[in-house]
Amino acid sequence: MSEEEDIKPVKILDCIGLYCPIPIFNTTQEMETIESGQVLEMVTDDPAAVQDIPRWAKRAGHQFLKLFKEGEHYHFLIRKG
């Protein structure tokens, strides 16, 4: 099993139906509730998040791990810095 497949989020944040800047705002708040090194999965249907979340993660000092799409939903895996 690859390291990427081992990624287990400690929390899943549902931002479906919310649009910029709310997913970033909610993700910022949720990241404050987890420990450094833990992974958050954020799910949204906002296509702007595809560019916004990786940029936000870098600026905020977090590690953007992965983006995948299931149906109309984008899933982001972010490791807290």
- The predicted-structure confidence for 42-77, as pLDDT tens digits, reads as follows 999 999 999 999 999 999 999 999 999 999 999 999
Its domain, for residue 23, covers 4-79
Question: What percentage of the chain has pLDDT greater than the value 90?
Answer: 90
Residue 41, pLDDT above cutoff 90: yes
Residue 49 and residue 74 in contact, taking contact as beta carbons nearer than 8 Å:
yes
Kindly report the three-state secondary structure assignment for every residue of 30-68. HHCCCCCCCEEEEEECCCCHHHHHHHHHHHHCCEEEEEE
80 three-state secondary structure: coil
What is the total count of domains within the chain?
A: 1
What pLDDT shows up at residue 1? Answer: 36
Q: Is 15 a catalytic residue?
A: no
> What CATH number has the domain bearing residue 31?
3.30.110.40
- Annotated catalytic residue within 18, 20, 43, 48: 20
Q: Is the pLDDT of residue 5 over 70?
A: no
Predicted model pTM: 0.91
Is residue 62 within 8 Å of residue 79, measured between CB atoms? Answer: yes
Q: How many whole angstroms separate alpha carbon 41 and alpha carbon 73?
A: 12
